[in-house]
Amino acid sequence: MKAFRGQPSIFASTQPDDRRAELEVRNLNLSFGGLQALYDVDLTVKTGELLAIIGPNGAGKTSLLNCITGYYHPQEGQIIFNGENITGHHPFEITKRGIGRTFQNIELFPGMSVIANMLLARHIHCEYNVGLASLFSPSVKKEEVRHRRVVEELIDFLEMQPIRKKPVGSLPYGLRKRVELGRALALEPKLLILDEPFAGMTLEEKEDMVRFLVELNEAWGQTMLLVEHDMSVVMSISRRIMVLDFGKKITEGSPELVQNHPEVIKAYLGDTGTI
Amino acid sequence: MRKLRFRPCGNFKEYYEQELTIFETDFGRMWMWIGLFLLLFVVPFVGSPYTLYVLNNIAIAAIAAIGLNILIGYTGQISLGHGAFFGVGAYSAAILATKAGFPFWLSVILAGAVTAIVGMIFGIPSLRLKHLYLTIATLAGQFIIEYVLVHWESLTGGAEGIILPEPTIFGLNVSADRAFSWVVFFSFAVMCWMAVNLARSRYGRAFVAIRDNDRAAEGMGIPLFRYKLLSFGISSFYAGFAGGLWAYYTVSITPEPFTLFLSIEYIAMIIIGGLGSISGSVFGAVFIIMLNEILSQATQYIMNLGAFAGIALTVAPLREFVFGLAIVLFLIFEPRGLAEVWRIIRSSFRLWPFAY
């Protein structure tokens, strides 16, 4: 039977400002001791866009994401989100400003159920305090029910109904990736950052994931920044691609432009002159 | 009125509210009310003074153990200073009652608040330290507090301690075992309920998230340091509240009981009872206090036998030995503690005659 495919209410925002996601990264420099991970990286993401970052292993893609989400603190440069400088903020502050992310190596809470994992992400949208929580007053109950409804809508969307009560530690890898996407969506992010959402998945799981991401982006206008190795997926879903190599931005543009760029070919395949 | 729900043969829930209840079935809820009724209206009348004394001690220890379970079992911050926080609570209540002349109920609640602040101060190292290193930092807290309790004589009375006034509530003297047991049982029930509520709210989820994966928790918008401090605060509030009750119950307090051994006893309670489970803390408190009482009774009995009096002195340190043995056996055979044993027993009743 076909699953219910309504629009989760968190995407139905009527205020255009609620979904505004303008990210600008300027001259970002990051080094670990003597190792320079990022050199003068510039990046812009516009509202409603799906931008992919690609590059060979060790190019600094995840480092760039970690800078944007506050896990690494860049030595130089600025990260501006919706007009506010968020460079050097803590990850939790950046999450509150509307940047949600998934991790390359799944970072879920294995002991908690799928629902609990996703409810946890609703944390920043809960308004009650410790006192009310310890009494579990009717207002707290009402709010918990509201968050549960949001989570259930996302579970419907991601087709995870049969596993909603299962502890995440017992799920197979592909489903965990999907739970992680669900958890990031439960944050109601303005900008969704995905670190290798297709890594280690079977073909069917990849197809499902592509379907979810395309629907999120094109039907519901979710702004996304994506790091991925799977070229066929990246080339088919993104409008704009940025290529990093050894911490430097090589080029940026449409899939066709990037595919035929000599520097990109050199970065991936080596120098053709030496063959 | 809706029909009572016992154990439906399927999931017939229609509202999300139904998933937020503490008890899944009306059967469980009914037993909770029966238990509460027995505890508040039957036990105090039929129990002998000795039984009531043991039960009071269990309830007080259970309150403190719930606090420690919130810190260790839920948040994953191992603290070796819980015994000292219990002592801070006892001394705060005593000082507030004798020096400031506060009434019983207010000084016990304020003892919890004072201890919460002290606990948060000793929780500050959790900003940078994790796991074993944090444990050692809290151990330092334990010794600092012990030292202060003995040496700040103008406030704590040094080794002589403090004698507390008789507790009164609404003009009624509640110092007798029976009257005090009402106070203790009632506070125990309320504190249990509050802890269960916290555990199922966003705070409980945030604490578990910090325990399971602090990196991801931060990415989900949880300010780690603030929540670790909050956990220390809540945990110490429970310890301080229990300490305040205990101070009024024993009437005179000295720094002696609040040693590292008391902290270890609390850790033993929550390991044996079950980490990350409120009911587990209660089971653990029952187990350890009963074990204490049985061992001291046994030692006394052997001493009175005359012929074995010599042996009794060598048997006395057996307490520590049995403690260690109990912890080791639980870690080997049931690492999730008595709460898990209880769950298995319950579900085997439910599933009978099938195996699972």
The residues pairing with A243 across neighbouring beta strands, listed in sequence order, are A54, A251
Q: Do A183 and B198 touch (CB under 8 A)?
A: no
| Distance (Å, whole) CA A138 – CA B20 | 12
DSSP designation for A137: -
CA A95 to chain centre: 11
Read off the pLDDT of residues A65-122 as tens digits, 9 standing for 90 and up. 899 888 898 888 888 888 888 888 889 999 988 888 998 888 888 878 899 899 988 8
Establish if B26 belongs to a structural domain. Answer: no
A233 CB-near residues (< 8 Å, 6+ apart):
A198, A206, A210
- For residue B192, being part of any structural domain is answered with yes
Angle of CA points B128, B133, B138, to nearest 5°: 90
Q: How confident is the model at residue B4 (pLDDT cuts 50, 70, 90)?
A: low
Q: What is the mean pLDDT of residues A179-203?
A: 88
pLDDT value at residue A272: 62
The pLDDT of residue A169 is 86
Say yes or no: B335 contacts chain A, CB-CB below 8 A.
no
Q: Looking at the whole model, is its pTM more than 0.90?
A: no
Average pLDDT, chain A: 84
pLDDT band of residue A2 (cuts 50, 70, 90) is very low
Identify whether B18 is part of a domain.
Answer: no
Beta bridge partners, A252, equal: A242
Q: How confident is the model at residue B306 (pLDDT cuts 50, 70, 90)?
A: low
Contacts of A126 in chain B (CB under 8 A): 202
Which of A54, A50, A55, A61 shows the shortest CA–CA distance to A239? A50
Domains: count for chain B = 1
Tokens of A148: 């549960």
Question: Does position B355 have pLDDT exceeding 80, yes or no?
Answer: no
Q: Can you give the residue ranges of every domain in chain A?
A: 21-108+177-274
Average the pLDDT over B198-227 and give the result. Answer: 89
Contact (CB<8Å) B219/A110: no
Closest-CA residue of chain B to A152: B16
What are the tokens at B167?
């507790």
Return the residue in A112, A119, A136 with the most chain B beta carbons within 10 A, the one to mutate for interface testing. A136
Q: Which of residues 120-159 of A touch B (CB under 8 A)?
A: 120-124, 126, 128, 130, 133-136, 140-141, 144-145, 148-149, 152
CA distance B16 to chain A (A): 6
Residue B13 lies in a domain: no
ipTM of the predicted structure?
0.86
- Give the position of tokens 């008789």: B166
Mutate to test the interface with A, among B197, B212, B215, B220 (most CBs of A within 10 A): B220
CA dihedral for B308, B309, B314, B319, sign (positive or negative):
positive
Could you identify the residue written with the tokens 């990210």? Answer: A23
Owning domain of residue B326? 48-351
Position A1 pLDDT exceeds 50? no
B353 by Cβ neighbours in 10 Å (0-12 / 13-18 / 19+) ranks as exposed
Which residues neighbour B136 within 8 Å (Cβ) at sequence distance 6 or greater? none
Q: How many CB atoms lie within 10 A of CB B321?
A: 11
Burial class (CB within 10 angstroms; exposed 0-12, middle 13-18, buried 19+) of A26 = middle
Domain A21-108+177-274: give its CATH superfamily.
P-loop containing nucleotide triphosphate hydrolases (3.40.50.300)
Rounded CA Rg of chain A = 19
B5 lies in some domain: no
Distance of CA B295 to the CA centre of its chain: 21
Rounded to whole angstroms, the Cα distance separating A83 from B139 reads: 47
Rg (CA), chain B: 21
Cα–Cα distance, B155 to B162 (Å, whole number):
9
pLDDT of the residue at A12: 67
Q: Do A141 and B17 touch (CB under 8 A)?
A: yes
In a domain, B98, yes or no: yes
More confident residue, B21 or B40: B40
pLDDT at B71: 92
Residue A31 dihedral angles phi and psi, to the nearest 5°:
-140, 145
Check: CB of residue A122 under 8 Å from CB of residue B203: no
In-domain check, residue B209: yes
From chain B, pick out residues whose CB is under 8 angstroms from the CB of A107: 213, 215-216, 219
Given pLDDT bands bounded at 50, 70 and 90, which one contains residue A3? very low
Instruction: State the Cα torsion A73-A76-A79-A80 to the nearest 10°.
Output: 130
Percent residues over pLDDT 70 in chain A: 94
Alpha-carbon span A265 to B251, nearest angstrom: 82
**Cα–Cα dist B196/B204, whole Å:** 9
**B219 touches A: beta carbon within 8 Å:** yes
Question: In terms of Cα–Cα distance, which of B232, B79, B81 is closest to B147?
Answer: B81
The answer to whether residue B20 neighbours chain A at the CB level (below 8 Å) is: yes
Residue B164 has pLDDT above 50, yes or no: yes
Q: What is the pLDDT of residues B61-117, one digit of tens each?
A: 999 999 999 999 999 899 998 999 999 999 999 999 888 888 888 899 999 999 999
Q: What is the mean pLDDT of residues B318-328?
A: 81
CB contact under 8 A, A130 and B234: yes
Task: Report d(CA A158, CA A142) in Å as an integer.
Answer: 25
Torsion over CA of B283, B288, B292 and B298, rounded to 10 degrees? Answer: 70
Is residue B224 in a domain? yes
DSSP code, position B10: S
Q: Is the peptide bond prior to A138 cis by the omega test (within 30 degrees of 0)?
A: no
For chain B, give the mean pLDDT: 86
With beta carbons less than 8 A apart as the criterion, state whether A47 and A20 touch.
Answer: yes
Share of chain B above pLDDT 90, in %: 30
Q: State the helix-helix crossing angle for B131-151 and B260-273, rounded to 10 degrees.
A: 140
Q: How far apart are CA B156 and CA B244, in angstroms?
A: 14
Phi and psi angles of residue B201, each rounded to the nearest 5 degrees, phi first: -100, -170
Question: Any idea what the CATH number is for the domain that residue B97 is in?
Answer: 1.10.3470
